[in-house]
Chain A
């Protein structure tokens, strides 16, 4: 069964450094998402992306965050200058379509980001 893949599985970074998290969505999917889950807390929406632009973002997704689809298969999340509070599990998700249809979002297994 097709799946969303994320790399790396664990990233350790010094505070203030830039980090890029990578995702390969399911190949025929058109909508892409990033969520995060701080340890012991709920999964939180960060951003959605369609047709090479951000379609929606949360208040968490400030100027330190950016997303990109650099080629036909990868979808990345960049954090420019990491803070301690960015430590979390970051999940990428993709869906076939949205709008008036309700194709579910399918999630990868996440990247655990640890900021030192």
Chain B
């Protein structure tokens, strides 16, 4: 069964304290892995698409990497405005749907 597991469930960081969020997946063929940011009461906001193992994408303080079994979202020197829930989703081959993980709730303290 296709599955996405994210860890940790919640993370508190001091401003400037770098860390990584993990997304492990089991899927019958990977069409793509997607990272989203979700603020309270809002919809998921697209961050990155990763297609194949070894690929990396960067945007400001965020960097996403992909292996055959997992993806990491690295946050470098975070700021309070990076506080949000970060969602990982996979699109299995042969389908249109995204399968989401439960997310990591990140809180960055000033």
A interface list, Cβ under 8 A from B:
4, 31, 33, 35, 41-45, 48, 50, 55-56, 58, 91, 93, 98, 102, 104-110
- By secondary structure, the A interface counts as strand
Chain B residues within 8 Å of A91, by CB: 43-44
Min CB gap B31→A, angstroms? 6
Q: Are B95 and A56 in contact (CB under 8 A)?
A: yes
Q: Are A106 and B49 in contact (CB under 8 A)?
A: no
B interface list, Cβ under 8 A from A:
31-32, 34, 36, 41-46, 49, 51, 87, 89, 91, 95-103
Q: Are B87 and A43 in contact (CB under 8 A)?
A: yes
In the bound assembly, the distance between CA atoms of A2 and B44 in angstroms comes to 15
Min CB gap A93→B, angstroms? 8
In the bound assembly, the distance between CA atoms of A43 and B98 in angstroms comes to 9
In the bound assembly, the distance between CA atoms of A10 and B96 in angstroms comes to 27
Set B41, B96, B103: member contacting A33, Cβ < 8 A: B96
Set A4, A41, A105, A109: member contacting B98, Cβ < 8 A: A105
Q: Are B34 and A104 in contact (CB under 8 A)?
A: yes
Q: Are B102 and A42 in contact (CB under 8 A)?
A: yes
Q: Which residue of chain B lies nearest to A99 when distances are taken between CB atoms in the complex?
A: B96
For the complex of A and B, 7 pairs with smallest distance between CB atoms = A107-B43, A45-B97, A48-B96, A43-B100, A102-B32, A109-B43, A107-B44
